[in-house]
């Protein structure tokens, strides 16, 4: 490998034409640096991916030694015909639209507010960011503490406003609660990214707009938003991918209940795999989820290549 390094270093790095003498399989310097990381990543990603595909066509038995029995398309026909599964997809869609919608709306709102503060903006931003660092499982448990029907602070406050009832016990209120817990944790991310975009809008453009007699909202609509759409899109896509990824909050608050009201796809997948140990079926669900995130990542990369 060391000879390859030296051979590469003697050629000027700017030359784009590959030397004809270089063997096809000899590692270049960048290639040599990439090799360890990329090989381990391949081990941790391609093998599980292939395993997942094989599992989705098998019945996986764990007792008495691991055994995979080929069952063809059984898991796939099941996953497409399972009405409970479609209900979970629908619920996941609602959950995603609600969390992402609220986070974008509130995040942009908070960023606009902070952008109008001149002194102390840094401190305020730091305070706003705090929920982002809290482990999602703690967010869920803290949510339970706050909404407990006998001693929860938020239940108590809602009781003063006339709302009685067990928040995590009712279908609609439980779904709302887990959505709001996610909103609490991740709105700061959107606010932070948007604020970065707003700070990037050149002051001279804003000045020109105000000299032209444009009001605050007009300036926002016609000058500020058009110049930060790329950044907003990045924020949205990053959040979307993570919202599909994580399910810790729901696991420790309602675990899908009451009466399946919060049973999103990842919760159902987890339950299928590790409560019913139906790993083949879980693998089929997992591959469907993977397709969804790959589509979102495609969007993310496409936005990046347009150079935000």
Three-class SS of residue 67? strand
Under the criterion CB under 8 A, does residue 31 sit at the interface with other proteins? Answer: yes
Q: Which of 206, 220, 223, 289 binds other proteins (CB under 8 A)?
A: 289
Residue with tokens 């639209």: 97
Nearer residue to other proteins within complex by CB, 37 or 72: 37
Q: Which of 177, 179, 193, 209 binds other proteins (CB under 8 A)?
A: 193
Q: How far is the CB of 73 from other proteins (least distance, A)?
A: 18
Nearer residue to other proteins within complex by CB, 223 or 289: 289
Smallest Cα–Cα separation from 111: which of 123, 130, 128?
A: 128
Under the criterion CB under 8 A, does residue 133 sit at the interface with other proteins? Answer: yes
Residues 2-21 that bind other proteins (CB under 8 A): 5-6, 8-9, 12-14, 16
Q: Which of 113, 205, 208, 259 binds other proteins (CB under 8 A)?
A: 113
Under the criterion CB under 8 A, does residue 37 sit at the interface with other proteins? Answer: yes
Under the criterion CB under 8 A, does residue 71 sit at the interface with other proteins? Answer: no
Question: Using CA of residue 148, residue 149, residue 153, residue 155, what is the dihedral sign?
Answer: positive
Three-class SS of residue 70? strand
Neighbours of 248 (CB within 10 A): 16
Nearer residue to other proteins within complex by CB, 68 or 223: 68
Residue with tokens 């608050």: 253
Smallest Cα–Cα separation from 177: which of 270, 253, 88?
A: 253
Provide the mask over 167-186, with x wherever binding to other proteins is found by CB under 8 A and - wherever it is not: -----------------x--
Under the criterion CB under 8 A, does residue 202 sit at the interface with other proteins? Answer: no
**Who's near 244: CB < 8 A, 6+ residues apart?**
92, 96, 266, 289, 292, 293, 296
Neighbours of 167 (CB within 10 A): 22
Q: Which of 47, 87, 94, 97 binds other proteins (CB under 8 A)?
A: 47
Q: How far is the CB of 134 from other proteins (least distance, A)?
A: 5
Helix axes 136-147, 153-160, angle to 10 degrees: 40
Under the criterion CB under 8 A, does residue 293 sit at the interface with other proteins? Answer: yes
Residues 254-283 that bind other proteins (CB under 8 A): 266, 269-270, 273-274, 279, 282-283
Q: How far is CA 32 from the centre of its chain?
A: 32
**What phi and psi values does residue 251 have, to the nearest 5 degrees?**
-55, -45
Helix (H) or strand (E) holding 204: helix 203-211
Interface segment toward other proteins; rule CB under 8 A; list 83-91, 162-170, 219-227, 231-239: 231-239
């Amino acid at each position: 490998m060391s000879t390859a390094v030296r051979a590469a270093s003697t050629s000027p790095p700017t030359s784009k034409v590959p030397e004809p003498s270089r063997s096809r399989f000899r590692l270049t310097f960048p290639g040599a640096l990439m090799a360890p990381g990329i090989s381990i990543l391949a081990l941790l990603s391609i093998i599980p991916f292939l395993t997942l595909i094989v599992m989705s066509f098998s019945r996986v038995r764990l007792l008495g030694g691991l055994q995979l029995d080929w069952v063809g398309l059984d898991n796939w026909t099941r996953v497409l015909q399972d009405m409970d599964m479609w209900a979970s997809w629908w619920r996941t869609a609602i959950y995603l639209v609600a969390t992402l919608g609220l986070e974008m709306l509130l995040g942009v709102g908070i960023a606009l507010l902070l952008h109008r503060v001149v002194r102390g903006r840094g401190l305020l931003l730091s305070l706003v960011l705090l929920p982002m660092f809290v482990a999602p499982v703690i967010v869920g448990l803290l949510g339970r503490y706050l909404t407990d029907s006998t001693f929860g602070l938020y239940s108590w406050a809602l009781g003063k406003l006339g709302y009685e009832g067990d928040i995590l016990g009712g279908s609609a209120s439980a779904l709302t609660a887990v959505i709001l817990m996610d909103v609490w944790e991740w709105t700061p991310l959107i606010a932070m990214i948007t604020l970065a975009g707003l700070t990037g809008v050149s002051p001279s453009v804003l000045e020109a707009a105000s000299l032209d007699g444009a009001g605050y909202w007009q300036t926002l609509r016609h000058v500020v938003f058009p110049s930060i759409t790329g950044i907003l899109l990045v924020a949205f896509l990053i959040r979307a991918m993570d919202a599909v990824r994580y399910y810790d909050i729901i696991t420790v608050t309602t675990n899908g209940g009451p009466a399946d009201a919060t049973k999103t796809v990842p919760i159902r997948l987890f339950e299928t795999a590790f409560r019913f140990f139906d790993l083949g079926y879980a693998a089929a669900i997992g591959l469907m989820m993977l397709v969804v995130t790959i589509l979102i990542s495609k969007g993310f990369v496409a936005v990046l290549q347009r150079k935000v």
